[in-house]
Amino acid sequence: MKWLFACCVAAVLSAAVAGNTERFLGTLEPKSAKVGYDSLRVNSEIDHREVEALGQKCGQFIEAHPDSEVVYELPTGVIEFHAVGVKPKVCQNAGAWKYIVAIDGETVFTSKELQYYDGAQVTIVVAVPKGAKTLTLITRASHDYDA
């Protein structure tokens, strides 16, 4: 099953589940969500501008402005989590941030700040251990800039 996630700071996150079914993460209600500005938004254009990931319009995404922490309960059978963390065009002159993924409270992925990646986007792939209960998506602003 695939899941998708995005932020302003935008990210397309997907998680594969046994059987190769795909599903957008935004179809799940978060267990908890806190964002640094505004509110958690799903598939909502940022300032009326489209979000792009890997050179294509991103039709399904979650926006969580840094500093953010969004916790999802994992459905049974999730085996892998995929993401593309993106700095949307509307945010190109904004500050710097990084993406962090935790499973059951343990950090399993931490990106560099997005400006250090070609195109200000990073691909995230994380194996999800059998029996994992929660997936936490985190954005952290750099101390050098405001996001």
Q: What is the pLDDT of residues 47-99, one digit of tens each?
A: 556 666 667 777 777 878 889 999 999 888 888 888 778 776 656 556 688 89
Please give the pLDDT value at position 117: 79
| pLDDT tens, position by position, 3-46 | 334 443 333 344 445 556 667 787 889 999 998 878 887 776 65
Q: Give burial (CB, 10 Å; 0-12/13-18/19+) of 117.
A: middle
Q: Using alpha carbons, list the distances in angstroms from residue 65 to 35, 40, 92, 133.
A: 6, 8, 14, 24
Place of tokens 């500093």: 67
Contact present, 81 and 22 (Cβ < 8 Å): no
